[in-house]
Structure 1
Amino acid sequence: MKSRIWTIAMAITTLLVFGSLTSKAMGQQRPPQVQEAQVPCFFIFGDSLVDNGNNNGMLTLARANYGPYGIDFPLGATGRFTNGQTYVDALGLGC
């Protein structure tokens, strides 16, 4: 008898907890607020993980301004060693 009461009590508690969590998640949704930029720019010093493609004007063999780099971009190669965003790009966009 005690185990049956315990099972029913736990089931009711679980339903109440999950019900309160989902009701708050499904409740009032505020529109996203646009915030003013806190930082005017980023100065990033690093390696290819933060590659911004600014070595095209330098005398170096390490360039990415030719194919296959940039095959996914409409205008072709941009000088970046990546075809996607780096984590610094995502940070700058606020993602």
Structure 2
Amino acid sequence: MRNTGFIEREELKEMVLALLNESDISLSDDMVELIVHKTFEQADSNGDGNIDLEEWKEFASQNPALLKNMTLPYLKDITTTFPSFVMKLEIEDDDL
């Protein structure tokens, strides 16, 4: 979201909250923090406090069920809630 090249804890928390909200699931703040903590515990293999692209790929390949929440309807709603999720692509008329 912040264009840093990796996922920070606060970004992951925002994503979790958005997905929970979209799914009409309510969890306590402690539960959300636990989800973020456990995700980083599993995904941040080099322990630097961030999840880089390679770590994310490895985590996603080990946890394919989490990708079901990354479907177009979910992403559409997340990008409405968090406009910074939107990727900005430049397309030339010749490419169409």
Which of the five TM-score ranges fits, normalised by the shorter chain? Answer: under 0.3
Pick 1 or 2: higher relative contact order, CA cutoff 8 A, min separation 6: 2
Please identify the structure whose Cα radius of gyration is greater.
1
Structure 1 or 2: more strand by fraction:
2
TM, length-normalised to structure 1:
0.22
TM, length-normalised to structure 2:
0.22
